[in-house]
Structure 1
Amino acid sequence: MHLDYLRAAIADTPRVAVYGTLKQGFNNAHWLNGARRLGSDTTRALTLYDIGPYPGAKRQPSKGVSIEVYEVNIGHLAQLDRLEDYRINAPAQGEYDRQQIATRFGRAWVYLYNPGVASKRAICEGGWEMPYTDHD
């Protein structure tokens, strides 16, 4: 069933929009190895929240946050679902839900943060910056 669900998702929208640690140069970009980067875009459909080591997005209007859009396959989408704790049978129970947004490259899947963000800093314009980590 999971494979059929992924096939249907990719057939509907073979793109994913990323806004945080999956972007080029960030620590989780390797999860998109082999995916075709279509380019950058700005969306006013999302507001980002600084969760600490990563951001979370909510479907809330903004002045425009930066995203990267990739063409992905079933394998990429399955890996991203695991990384983002997206639960096919109970999307509201995982850390992220996967929904679609419009981009200049067409509709793309985006992972929306499920937990509350009342105490988190909102990023309504631009992008999230990975916090500096001292590895010494």
Structure 2
Amino acid sequence: MKHIVAVYGTLKRGYSNHHLLDKACYIGPDTLTSLTLYDLGPYPGALAKPSTGVSVEVYAINGPLLAMLDELEGYDPGADKASLYQRRKIQTRHGLAWVYLYNRPVRSRQRIADGSW
């Protein structure tokens, strides 16, 4: 396992895409006050904006799994600015971790005030 990722939506335990993390190593939870969460309908999106905190789960994953997550999140490393999400490093209590940040306007989207989707 060479990558650390912080997830906040459908990849969390109990949600529809968590099965992708079945072989990942769960490190622990965190609350990130450097993110703000928005309701996008079938999934949430986070922006790098201060808030009271977004609940995340932190995992250690390998390179092939990171590529699978990139595909799930609509992130293309070769077209970062055009991607649905952008992958960025963010500080967690478990160290630096990749997080997927929503890359579209959120003007008409509801902010999730409690930070948990």
TM range (shorter): over 0.9
Structure 1's consecutive aligned runs of 4 or more residues displaced over 2 angstroms after TM superposition are none
- Distance, in Å, in 2 between the alignment partners of 1:66 and 1:82 is 23
Residue 49 in 1 paired to residue 38 in 2? yes
Counterpart in the other structure of 1:119: 108
Q: How many residues align?
A: 117
Deviation at 1:123, TM superposition (A): 1.6
2:6 corresponds, among 9, 17, 26, to 17
Distance 1:29 1:43 in 2: 20
Report the Cα distance in structure 1 between the residues aligned to 2:86 and 2:103, rounded to whole angstroms.
7
Match in the other structure for 2:87: 98
Q: In 2, are the aligned partners of 1:62 and 1:125 still within 8 Å (CA)? A: no
Structure 1 vs Structure 2: percent identity of aligned residues?
53
Greater radius of gyration (CA): 1
Question: Secondary structure of 2:54's match?
Answer: strand
Alpha-carbon distance between aligned partners in 2 of 1:25 and 1:39, rounded to the nearest angstrom: 15
The Cα RMSD (Å) is 1.2
TM-score, reference length from structure 1:
0.83
Query: Which one-letter code corresponds to 1:103 in the other structure?
Result: T
